[in-house]
Amino acid sequence: MHKVFVFGTLKRGFPNHDEGMAGLTCLGFYRTVQAYPLVIAGRWFSPAMMPEPGTGHRVTGELYEADDAALRRLDLIESVHLPTGYHREKIEVVSLDGGLPANAWVYFKDRARIECTHSAYLTEYNDDRYIHKSKRPAA
């Protein structure tokens, strides 16, 4: 089993949760050990955390257990196969309730792949402007 840290639209109550996290066990609320820049980005107002440790803030999200099939599903949702998509890396997170740190997969987006931002650096994603893929105009 793998651990996956989600900080944006895959969290409970957000638009991609049901599609991406169905059947996965939530281990609780966690925060990154290092600071990372988290912004609202692009024309779809997507949350994007950049792989720049030491910049921004410690980011709060949820930690899940996922099997290989779930990781493949998440890779598709996060468009890791596209040049404009996210990529998956391991980072260290710690429970908000205390406890030992855990290594978890997270989906980062490189700064060069972000066309524009709509926020300062955030500690937590709570924005409601995200435009789900089902509501975007046809390409």
CATH number at residue 45: 3.10.490.10
Q: Which domain holds residue 51?
A: 2-135
Exposure b/e, 90-116, CB count within 10 A at least 16 = b: ebebbeeeeeeebebbbbbbeeebbee
- Cβ neighbours of residue 41 closer than 8 Å, sequence gap 6 or more: 47, 48, 109, 114, 115, 116, 117, 118
Q: What is the separation of C-alpha 37 from the centre of its chain, rounded to a whole number of angstroms?
A: 12
Percent of the chain with pLDDT over 90: 92
Q: What is the pTM of this model?
A: 0.95
- Cβ neighbours of residue 54 closer than 8 Å, sequence gap 6 or more: 34, 35
Could you give the CA distance from residue 20 to residue 17 in angstroms, rounded to a whole number?
Answer: 5
Widest Cα–Cα separation across the chain: 46
> What does the pLDDT look like over 15-69, one tens digit per residue?
999 999 999 999 999 999 999 999 999 999 999 999 999 999 999 999 999 999 9
- Neighbouring CB atoms inside 10 A of 80's CB total 14
Q: How many structural domains is the chain composed of?
A: 1
Confidence check: pLDDT of 129 > 70 = yes
> What does the pLDDT look like over 87-121, one tens digit per residue?
999 999 999 998 789 999 999 999 999 999 999 99
47 residue type, one letter: P
Confidence check: pLDDT of 139 > 80 = no
Catalytic residues, which ones? 78
> What does the pLDDT look like over 54-95, one tens digit per residue?
999 999 999 999 999 999 999 999 999 999 899 999 999 999
pLDDT of residue 98: 84
